[in-house]
Structure 1
Amino acid sequence: MPSVEKLMEKVVELTFERDNALLHVRLNQLLQKGLDAILSSDTLEDTFSKFFGVMAEGVKFDSAVLLRLESGHFTLIASQNASDWPQQADLGCDTLAAALSGRHAVPVFNLLLLPEWGPHIIHWWPQIHSALFQRIHTRDQQFLLILGSGSVAAFGPSEEKIVGQFISFVASTIASVENKKLYMVSQSLKERQQRIEQSLLQSEKMASLGQLAAGVAHELNNPIGYLLSNIHMFQTYLTIFKSLLHNYQLLCEEHQSEQVKLQARQQINALYQKENVAFLLEDSDTLIADSVEGAIRVRDIVQSLRRFSHPDTDQIELVNLNDSIESTIKIISGEIKHSLLLKKQLFPDALYVMGKSNQISQVFLNLMMNARQAITHDHGELVISSGILGEEAWVALEDNGTGIAPQHMSRLFEPFFTTKDVGKGTGLGLSLCHSIMLQHSGRIEVQSELGVFSRFTLYFPLSHPA
């Protein structure tokens, strides 16, 4: 008989362990589904809408609300089957806090017996008779989860235990969703900042081109002018060449009469006596070569302008700094060639960096224009040099202009800071240069002596073509 009793005890013990094991399996399944709810949701409301559905598989309830405790009232965060709940509710916060003090969960068998809540509950939850109150703590906030049932005494110790197992996960859920929300807001702000910076950069480009318009027009006008002159002169030469060719053709045609051939010889002799044909042939080669050079000059200027003025894209490419310098000089040459002497001391080989060609050209153009504006005397000089230092490529622009006052050095890259007269500067040029260099993982170093010189040195991470 004792053996039977021991066997029965063992059966009870195993049954209890089995039930606990099944409960843990069920809880783990519910937690996994809860995690899936978090990963597939973007808002706190959407997350808990799915989360309530997951909890319903472990605890039977008819309605649920999630409230956040604020000063003197609760704010509704999420709900299920509780459409009449107000956005804010005074549920006797102090009384409720005292009731939950030292406990995580409080089951209420009959809500109508609560004197402070009766009228509110009848109005908000007319079909609910019992509830389970679950306190939730996060790092800096307090929440209250209320599960409601249409039955009296629907929540007992087992439901309290299951919901209690969810508490840490619910708190983590709230924190995760809030962090995700903050991350999304942060990303939105970053995208907005990028759009603003792109807009400012494009505006600065257009402003720069506006200041350079007269110089660029002059640079285009010169080659176009001698192109037209050369073409007009070559048209005159071509008339003489066509006349000579026509008469030589008559001499070569056997069916022509001797009289026609005699007239052709006379006209050829007359043209040779009147025109220096040998010089015209030699000068034609010069006219064509000069015209080709002028056309290439116009093409290079137009291509440089197109590349510079085109809106930036997100494409990162291999950029040769020396080519970018030369391209920028073609744009600004009309502006600077009459006001300063430009000297180039560029690295003999290509200097490759990874970046956006338009933005790098914008930095060079802004610094060249600043150098030109800083030179107010008639012996101005701008030296542009480049080279390699360790794993960095550098470009330096040094002018012998007015220099920078010591008290202004620390503010050079502040947006809208300028020492120029009103209407002559936006204060965005150096700020954009600094921003672009940071985006290219580079930096700017400035050296200056008031009234003597200014030197801006740009450092880029060096890249090697594959």
Structure 2
Amino acid sequence: MGRQMSNKNQQEVLLNQLKAENQKLQEFKKLNNLMLKTMQAFTENIDQSVPFSSLFSLIAQEVNPDIQLIITCNQQGDGVYVVASTNTELEGKDFILKNTEVNAKNIFDKSAVFNSQVKSAWPSILQEFSALASSAIIQPVKITNRCYAIVLLMNNAKGFSAEASSVISNYSSFIASILTLMEYRHVSKERDNLFAQQKRMETSMARQGKLAAIGQLAAGVAHELNNPLGFIYSNLNTFKLYIEDIETFISNACKKSSDTDNLYNKSNLQFIIDDSKELLSESLEGARRARDIIKNLRNFSHPDETTISKVNILKLVEDAIKIANTQFKKQTKILIKSENQDFWIEGNITQLCQVILNLISNAHHSINHSNGLIEINIIRTASWINIEVIDNGNGIDKADIPHLFEPFFTTKEIGQGTGLGLPISRAIVEQHNGCLALDYTGSKGTKFIISLPEYTNASSN
């Protein structure tokens, strides 16, 4: 009888051992399953900005809590901040700890399970969620110099078993390693981006230096051309008067002598005189255009960029368009619409002209069809003057819109853009107490608006 009891006890001991080993095996299988799925999730989406959403879905498959949170210390160190949560109402919230818990970092020291404990004994961070849960797990996750904690909540008392606690505890170490690797990759990517930005800055600085030298050369050439062009313009006007005098003389001579009149008609002098007048008119128009281009070029490249004066917006836009028309294809038309001829602001002509030219240039490059149109509307709104630059180009990609005003960001091909046009333009407009913004963009075109305060005392000058 005693021997039979002994065998029975041995069987029970063996059965208990098997149960314990089976429990450990199941726990190991769950943990291994979590790790495998986590590796797959992170390798497939390693660049996601907030990786915790993948953790929530994986944890829910094995532990199935009602609410999951990722928390970290807030900046003041007197509470915690909810980084992510399956309950969207909790995301981004700060929870200030009670005075008895002086250091919020104590929460991230060790793991803890709260099942049947009285809620008054729970840490204050969990008491904030006591209405949402009867059981809780806090599991710290340390990543380099930052501390996080996984918080799992369940409505049922004793909802978390020892097995669940063990799985989350072991899993958190693995998660910490994965997230640390992700952070290192993020730092490496940021480093590569900084190196690339430095390279772009160096290239841009070299290009800007060349452009500055070209600008100085252009200003010098414009100055040298101004005098001979003045001679040409003046001489053409004088020659026009000479032609008129010659025509009058011939007409009078023909009236006095029939032979002279016959010779006049035979020599076809009337055609020569008429054609000479047209040639002179075309030459004078060309000389005027050349004079205007040189004048605008000298104004634009003027070294004094600190002079503030009263500026007629319509005249400013017209001068910018004259420069633009010498650079762009003829099929792109530029039209001006203005409610008034006397809209005035106070500012620097050179800088504001640069802003308008940059917007016209961007509008032109967005048009790749033969019916290109750029409209510039000048409108008064309250005490502001709005300059609207509208094109019928292809628009801006949605992915590029957040980066439009970032320095060195450009959608143009290499060598065609420095990525400084819009950032510099916005800086200039803001220096004039105004604003530059994208109003809309799409497949049918883009609209930028420059808003500048109106100079109300201009009429008294």
TM-score normalised by length of structure 2 = 0.45
When Rg is computed on C-alpha atoms for both structures, the one with the higher figure is 1
